[in-house]
Amino acid sequence: MQFPQKHSATGTTIFTVMSALATKHGAINLSQGFPDFPIDKELADFLGEAAHHGHNQYAPMPGLPVLRHAVCNDFKRRYNVDIDVDTEITITPGATYGIYTAFTCVLQPGDEAILLEPAYDSYIPNIEMNGAKAVPIALSAPDFTVDWNKVKAAVTSKTRALILNTPHNPTGAVWTKEDWDTLADIVKNTNIVILSDEVYEQLIFDGLRHYSVLEHPELRERSFALYSFGKVFNNTGWKTGYCIAPMAYTTAFRRIHQFLSFTANTPAQYALAHHLASGKASNVQAIMEEKRNLFLSLMKETPFTIHNPARGSYFQLASYERINDMSDMDFAQWLTTEHGVATIPISAFYHNKKDDKLIRFCFAKQEETLRAAVDKLRCL
Ligand code: PMP
Ligand code: GLN
């Protein structure tokens, strides 16, 4: 049986490859982005309560009202934006799903979609699975800012979507207010729809503030904003997220969603709603900043070079220029199999596997894990 090639990515996603290699070799896993510490006890208890008290059947297609209310209240409090609970938010089985669904609303064969590289590895396949052409633009190293002239030059009459991600995986870069204003100028008088991947919105450091697309009135009216509870509540395996978008966009989103997954996991929605509303969730921002700081100070004892501290996300890039000149893929494999620490090679985030000899560490880990990993790296 020959199945059609729906996208150009070959092989298995790097996150699966590196996590499997870490398991096989008993390496400390700083590759795939997931925390290794427990979730809040209250949240776990709410999940049990949901299952024990009969919240086990399909939730309404847009998501449990109690969760949609809790999220909208939270955004009002944190960003002072009003979101209509009935017509502007849809709970999804994770942000990856939300991104695919949003692309599917917008793209048709022959369209073009712009993305900024290095990029989360589902973007290009998702664009191509909808018959459209991915137009990757490289961010400017070493701080991975957007070269807006390049973005402007990439816009054609076929450009239908642009996806962005801030705080950024894998570089930890964060957009400024000026970035948003420049994007607004570029897309003015075009048909471009924005997909704003803000899954790390609460993981931002050094006193910086996350600007959401929802705060920018001109952009908000042409955007799908995508979020993941996994990053905020340290439960990536629950695969629950949401999409916030204007009414017409949400209607289009739900037309696809109702026939793709129909709804998202009910007990998880119940637990997240009650935890969010209780106000007792741990301060994930402070916890993650502390981890970033610890990791940066420990890394000073290793031969790795850190050109730019992560300003947000779970991730820190590091250069191994002082260790050897292997390709980043070979280096990541060698580090896992020979030195017991798994990371992600950054070439995996480029369509053309551009190799800048950088690897990504995930610091969303317990202090013991980070210390044990650096103990191994120190001897390189
Ligand atoms: N976008 C980015 C930039 C990510 O790093 C991830 C991975 N967590 C996602 C989207 C997907 O999130 P989820 O696990 O909710 O699908
Ligand atoms: N977003 C996570 C990362 O970048 C992984 C998600 C996945 O495994 N697809 O590591």
Single-letter code of the amino acid located at 163: I
How does pLDDT run across 257-284, given as a tens digit for each residue?
999 999 999 999 999 999 999 999 999 9
Architecture of domain 47-280: 3-Layer(aba) Sandwich (3.40)
Position 66 scores a pLDDT of 98
Cβ neighbours, 10 Å, residue 81: 15
- Could you give the CA distance from residue 183 to residue 189 in angstroms, rounded to a whole number? 12
Structure tokens belonging to residue 208? 């910086």
Ligand nearest to the CA of 349: 2
Say yes or no: CB of residue 333 within 6 Å of ligand 2.
no
How far is 70 from 344, CA to CA, in rounded Å? 35
pLDDT in tens, 138-158: 999 999 999 999 999 999 999
> Is there an atom of ligand 1 within 6 Å of 101 CB?
no
pLDDT in tens, 33-43: 999 999 999 99
| pLDDT band per the 50, 70, 90 thresholds, residue 18 | very high
Is the CB of residue 134 less than 8 Å from the CB of residue 113? Answer: yes
Task: Give the H or E element holding residue 90.
Answer: strand 89-92
Residues of the chain with CATH 3.90.1150.10: 14-39+283-377
Contacts of 239 (CB under 8 A, 6+ apart): 93, 94, 97, 230, 265
pLDDT at res. 10: 84
pLDDT in tens, 168-208: 999 999 999 999 999 999 999 999 999 999 999 999 999 99
Write out the two tokens for 53: 């008290």
In this predicted structure, what is the pLDDT of residue 11? 87
Alpha-helical (H) ranges within 119-262 are 123-129, 148-154, 177-187, 217-220, 229-233, 247-257
User: Could you tell me if the CB of 33 is within 6 A of ligand 2?
Assistant: yes
- CA–centroid distance, residue 33 to ligand 2 (Å): 5
In order, the DSSP letters of 353-366 are ----SEEEEE--S-
d(CA 318, CA 147): 22
Domain with CATH 3.40.640.10 in the chain: 47-280
Whether residue 17 has pLDDT greater than 90? yes
Q: For strand 28-29 and strand 193-197, is the pairing parallel, antiparallel, or unpaired?
A: unpaired
Helix H, strand E, coil C: the string for 306-330 is CCCCCCECCEEEEECCCCCCCCHHH
Given a contact cutoff of 8 angstroms between Cβ atoms, the answer to whether 358 and 47 are in contact is no
CA 141 to each of CA 116, 117, 145: distance values in angstroms, whole numbers, following the listed order: 12, 11, 7
Question: What would the CATH number be for the domain defined by 14-39+283-377?
Answer: 3.90.1150.10
Among 18, 21, 120, residue to substitute to test ligand 2 (most atoms within 8 Å of Cβ): 120
What is the identity of the amino acid at 224?
A: F
Token pair, residue 116, equals 């900024």
Give the pLDDT confidence score for residue 298 in this predicted structure. Answer: 98
pLDDT score for 200: 98
Counting ligands in written order, the one closest to the CA of 96 is 1
Average pLDDT score, the chain: 97
CB atoms within 10 A of CB 59: 21
Would you say residue 311 has pLDDT above 90?
Answer: yes
pTM value surpassing 0.85: yes
Pocket flag, ligand 2, residue 334 (CB < 6 Å) = no
Please list the residues that pair with 196 across neighbouring strands.
164, 225
Pairing, β 159-165 against β 193-197: parallel
Report the percentage of the chain scoring pLDDT > 70. Answer: 100
- Two structure tokens written together for 198: 């803000």
| Contact between 362 and 30 (Cβ < 8 Å) | yes
**CA–CA gap between residue 169 and residue 166 (Å, rounded):** 8
Ligand nearest to the CA of 264: 1
Asked whether 70 and 276 are in contact (CB, 8 A), the reply is: yes
- Cα 55 from Cα 46, distance rounded (Å): 11
For the segment 42-59, what is each residue's pLDDT rounded down to a tens digit?
Answer: 999 999 999 999 999 999
List, for residues 97-146, the tens digit of each pLDDT value: 999 999 999 999 999 999 999 999 999 999 999 999 999 999 999 999 99
Residue 169: which of 132, 238, 101, 123 has the closest Cα?
123
Q: How far is the CA of 4 from the centre of ligand 2 (A)?
A: 25
> Which residue type, as a one-letter code, is found at position 116?
L
The pLDDT score that the predictor gives to residue 192 is 98
